Amino acid sequence: MKTVPRFSVIYEDGEIIAVNKASGISVCPDRWDESKERLDRLVAETLNIRPRIFTVHRIDQDTSGLVIFAKDEASHRRLSIAFEERTIAKRYIAVVNGRPPWKETACDLPLVPNGNKRHMTIVDRFRGKKSLTRFVLLGGVGNYSVLEALPETGRTHQIRVHAAALGFPVVCDPLYGRDKAVLLSSIKRNWRGNSHEERPLLARLGLHAAELSLPTDLLSNENKNGITLHAPLPRDMAALISQMEKLLGASISDRKSVLPWENSKK
């Protein structure tokens, strides 16, 4: 069985390095378990970046996709502020349970960590921090749909909590949905395979950080016009969406929407 690479390099210059990480690896030290495998250390050691790299932002351990690291303190400070001030646009692809009746919607429920042993985030209209995620329905088959998620804030587990609050939890999510693998037999009518030998199409959290757009003032002179970084879907999510596209008879994940806040900046 082939080993899935823990990360691949998407972009690198003298100030930053962007990687496409696999699901299952923490971006930086886990405050509850420092023995876990760390992406920051793995990237620095594999690429021989000395003396260290600086973590700019995080995505969930079980989420795959784009992560940016800075190579020096000045770049780290500049990029960290940009993420905090929401000047970096983010685009995710999510496979969810259910079939939304809408084409586009937004969820602005305020969120706060609840401090339990599972380190969950909850909706709290009184103590929660302002949070906003826009969702676009890309397509659906059976009881599953593919959404584009555009978070305008960066709360822990934000997309997962907001999707679940709308009634469409991300697949294989043990915290906010059902920890149940997606099978071909569950989306294809008249499936005639052997149920005892069927292997899951997707058996981990169906969430992928697909795109980051960095404006001009965040970059070195090498990229005066800004850049948009794209991380290809991992094999398992790509296989699932491919099967859904075959059954739907249309493309799902290739569509590139205009990030909703970009028009207001022009």
- Dihedral angle at the C-alpha atoms of 148, 169, 122, 214, nearest 10 degrees? -20
- DSSP type of residue 15: S
Between β-strands 64-70 and 207-214, what pairing exists: parallel, antiparallel or unpaired?
parallel
Per-residue pLDDT, 2: 56
For the question of whether the overall pTM of this predicted structure is more than 0.75, the answer is: yes
Domain ranges (residues) in the chain:
7-255
pLDDT (average), residues 110-134: 90
Fold of 7-255: Pseudouridine synthase (3.30.2350)
Which phi and psi angles does 15 have, rounded to 5°?
-115, -35
On whether the CB atoms of residues 107 and 125 are closer than 8 A, the answer is no
Distance in angstroms (rounded) separating the CA atoms of residues 128 and 110? 5
In DSSP notation, 54-116 reads EE-----TT-EEEEEEESSHHHHHHHHHHHHTT-SEEEEEEEEES--S-SEEEE---EEE---
Q: What is the pLDDT of residue 29?
A: 65
Show Cβ contacts of residue 229 under 8 Å, excluding neighbours closer than 6 positions.
10, 11, 18, 66, 68, 211, 212, 213, 214
What tens digit of pLDDT does each residue of 83-97 get? Answer: 988 889 999 999 999
Q: Which phi-psi region, left, alpha or beta, contains residue 98 (left: φ > 0; alpha: ψ -120 to 50)? A: left
From residue 251, give the alpha-carbon distance in Å to each of 65, 72, 238. 21, 41, 12
Scanning the structure block, which residue is given the tokens 């990360």?
Answer: 7
> Residues for the chain: how many in total?
266
Percent of the chain with pLDDT over 70: 86
Contact, 208 vs 64, CB < 8 A? yes
Catalytic residue numbers? 60
What does the pLDDT look like over 135-189, one tens digit per residue? 999 999 999 999 999 999 999 999 999 999 999 999 999 999 988 999 988 888 8
Q: Are 107 and 137 in contact (CB under 8 A)?
A: no
